[in-house]
Structure 1
């Protein structure tokens, strides 16, 4: 599931979670699966049958229904739900609890981009010793790859966000502009729409770091690599430059509205047709249905734009649930997490209100693929969105301090959207600032 808070920059202060990282990277028995840590499937099930209380932090609207189903299956367990409002607030609260050593939840939602921030300092439980490796085949490769890095399994995927091209068909039809399928066609279609109506933009972007990293990923870039305390940053690799060269033309052509995403102005522009398309994750239908009611019947979804006709995709957003290393009721937390993100009952409850699954079974089900959306003019949208999950490039990594990197994006790479620098130079500035920050945090950083 994705809401507007997931697109905001994470709260500043990522260094709080990174402080002392190198000292913690060796790990302790807590949260590493060593020195007696772990349990068999039978022991986990026995703990759930015996019962107790656990605390779950999340911002997903489906949580109450999932908990109700869980407590029906395990009546001796009480789940105390804490709504953390969104990713930024969630991370800040978790950092505070971990620093204080008090109030740490048993299970907590984290965006994929934030996992390393907590895993490297030893603040997450490695679920390998609880048998979670057996669950790998349940999930898409990209989401499993996000939770299984650095020789451990640090959570279970909740959802996924393979990118797609969402467009207002009525706007394109009104102006006689063909819907693009490639980035070159996107550039030309944007120019045609502007020529037909100067107030219409093919899209909007004011320099969104989350969108930027997803588009770099989709272009084949692999700019961030982390192995323990060693981090490599190369924001001039072939894939990154492929995107930058293309997107520089988009910026220079002035075909994007200068309207920040997730604002009232943005929703209004989507409602009245000023913004004709969006490229974002498969969670997009819920955003449009709830926030853009005037577009009902007009919007459609198409596969992600390509560079040369070859379907290649990336993830945009998405979250996992994890068990903190200091969880007070760890075994119950492990059991609840396993049920939450691998049981059919829980996943189907998650999907009922717009959640886009990370599990292969649900993505391939006839019911899911055959769903025809009234909002999208009767289109079987999940066929397109699930197809996008098949093409996600594997191997992507975020920085261990991605929230901080996003925070400094506007003052470095973001200057390209203001015409103050080129994208290539802006990315170089972003890299330099990240190298300095990572070094200051105790990492060995190379380019």
Structure 2
């Protein structure tokens, strides 16, 4: 399957690294030795991916370290860039964090080393987020196209149709509550990426930033109607005790999913692996359906999560580092065997995602359903979406305002107004012009 993908990077080969003289400053082992490239990443089962790369490359070898997950790694990266030393050659970076590291002048344009040739390999939306104009700052790896996971046995038992619209979803929540007063249609989890994915699906495009167009200009538009309808819709479900407020990925939330307390979860393409390993009591009782739409007949989609490989500006040999970023996953059959079957990543390489081995995979947890037949078209239909250079602040403030609403100290229809004001104020204090 993936052998044909290698034609996209064949022109790069080993670049010029085979001719390195062995200068330690270039990251080599010495005269005649391979170029050594340091990588920070926290992918599950990544050790096997690194071993596969090293076994297939004589001239480049990867030295991998897991310095922490998400925020922990980012904090170490920022410390290294502030100090001017200590960063790896290649770093795993989530899509929403790319502008943050761009503004720090921390990422190399891999386009100068041939990475632009990979554009057709990847889902269009992912390539858009990984690039800025004609500059390639990241190589996509995995994503999180969203769909609705639901308790098929309970919906069938009580004669509740699977909702095709959000209005039908609210009606299903009411019928659920009548059938089981202790149940909730889902939880309004404390996760900025999840809420962001719901806004994306609703047509909300609240952010805009391009380093190449204007370093100090950013768009913030959280109060547009497409954003507001999401927060107010979910807020109404919470207010009516139809939706819980447990944070995701906690023991309580996992127990609720596994006990019948929660009947649905607007989840992502990486969910099948997560739930199969976490929910032991309800295996075979769940199914996956397309996300409900805001208007009947629409086909709008959202994404929750996703990551890339970047080359840092502290890389000793950015050309060799680019080979690593492009080839750790992108064209490796061995890597994707691990990524799909052990790490349960959702692939952003189009030919991997569309391969019958992936789309036709039946999941025991979902009673044999081929759930990737739902997720793959979502990724294919996703539209563009941008982030800010301070997305952590945006998500943090948004979740704080939502927490105020769930506690009853704020009205839901003021959540985004307050977040907009706070984010705009923060951006201006950082020297940005806000549109």
TM-score relative to the length of structure 2: 0.89
Distance 1:383 1:343 in 2: 23
CA deviations over 1:21-40 (Å, ceiling 9, x no partner): xxxxxxxxxxxxxxxxxxx9
Within 5 A, what are the aligned runs for 1:123-162? 123-162=106-145
The alignment's TM-score, normalised by the length of structure 1, stands at 0.86
Q: Distance in 1 between matches of 2:177 and 2:50?
A: 49
Q: How far is 1:239 from its partner? A: 1.8
Q: Separation in 2 of the partners of 1:410 and 1:155?
A: 27
Is 2:327 aligned against 1:352?
no
Contact between 2:190 and 2:248, CA under 8 Å: does it hold in 1?
A: no
Q: How many angstroms apart in 2 are the aligned matches of 1:145 and 1:369?
A: 24
C-alpha displacement of 1:85? 3.4
Alpha-carbon deviations, 1:340-360, whole Å to 9, x = none? 132132333322221110011
Counterparts of 2:286 and 2:118, CA distance in 1: 36
Q: CA deviation at 1:186?
A: 0.8
Superposition map of 1:295-306 within 5 A? 295-306=282-293
Are 1:233 and 2:224 matched, yes or no? no
403-412 or 291-300: which moved more? 403-412
The equivalent of 2:299 in structure 1 is 311
Q: Provide, for residues 247-283 of structure 1, a one-character-per-residue CA deviation record: whole Å limited to 9, x for no partner.
A: 3432332211221111111111111111111002111
Tell me the residue number matched to 1:15. Answer: none
Matches within 5 A, 1:279-428: 279-308=266-295, 309-345=297-333, 346-353=335-342, 354-392=344-382, 394-428=383-417
In the alignment, the residues of structure 2 paired with residue 66 and residue 344 of structure 1 have an alpha-carbon distance, to the nearest angstrom, of 9
Q: How far 1:109 sits from its partner (Å)? A: 0.5
CA distance in 2 between partners of 1:43 and 1:184 (Å): 53
Aligned to 1:33: none
What does 1:176-191 align with in structure 2 at a 5 Å threshold? Answer: 176-191=159-174
Query: Secondary structure in 2 aligned to 1:159?
Result: strand
Q: Is the 8 A contact 1:104 1:328 kept in 2?
A: no
CA separation in 2, counterparts of 1:48 and 1:41? 15
Correspondences of 1:81-92 after superposition (within 5 Å): 81-92=64-75
Identify the residue that residue 28 of structure 2 maps to in structure 1. none
Summarize the Cα distance change of 1:336–1:129 in structure 2 as closer, same or farther, 3 Å threshold.
same
Q: Secondary structure at the match of 1:163?
A: strand
Shift of 1:167: 0.9
Partner of 2:100, secondary structure, is: helix
- Pick from 151, 154, 176 the counterpart of residue 168 of structure 1: 151
1:249 is aligned to 236
Match of 1:78 in 2: 61
Kept in 2: contact 1:48–1:335 (CA 8 A) = no
Please say which of residues 116-125 and 348-357 is displaced more in the overlay: 348-357
Runs of 4+ in 1 over 6 A off after TM superposition: none
Q: Which residue of 2 aligns with 1:34?
A: none
Cα–Cα, structure 1 residues 42 and 132, in superposed 2: closer, same or farther, change >3 Å? closer
Q: 1:261 to 1:42 in 2, by over 3 A?
A: closer
Tell me if structure 1 keeps the 8 A contact 2:113–2:319. no
Q: Residue 71 of structure 1: SS of its match in structure 2?
A: helix
Cα displacement (A) at 1:384:
0.8
Match of 2:83 among 79, 97, 100: 100
Distance 1:199 1:73, change over 3 A: same
Distance in 2, matches of 1:292 and 1:48, equals 49
User: How many pairs were matched up?
Assistant: 407
Which SS does the other structure have where 2:336 is aligned? Answer: helix
> Unpaired segments of 5 or more residues in structure 1?
1-39
How big is the shift at 1:243?
2.3
* Shift in CA distance, 314/410, structure 1 to aligned 2, threshold 3 Å: closer
How many angstroms apart in 2 are the aligned matches of 1:180 and 1:306?
9
| Alignment match, 2:99 | 116
Helix, strand or coil at the partner of 2:255: helix
Tell me the CA shift for residue 48 of structure 1.
5.9
Q: What's the offset of the Cα at 1:121?
A: 2.5
Give CA-to-partner distance per residue, 1:161-194, whole Å, 9 cap, x none.
1101011212223333222221111101111111
SS at structure 2 position matched to 1:96: helix
- In structure 2, distance between residues paired with 1:48 and 1:197: 67
Q: CA RMSD in A?
A: 2.0
CA distance in 2, matches of 1:278, 1:270: 8
Secondary structure class of the residue paired with 2:218: strand
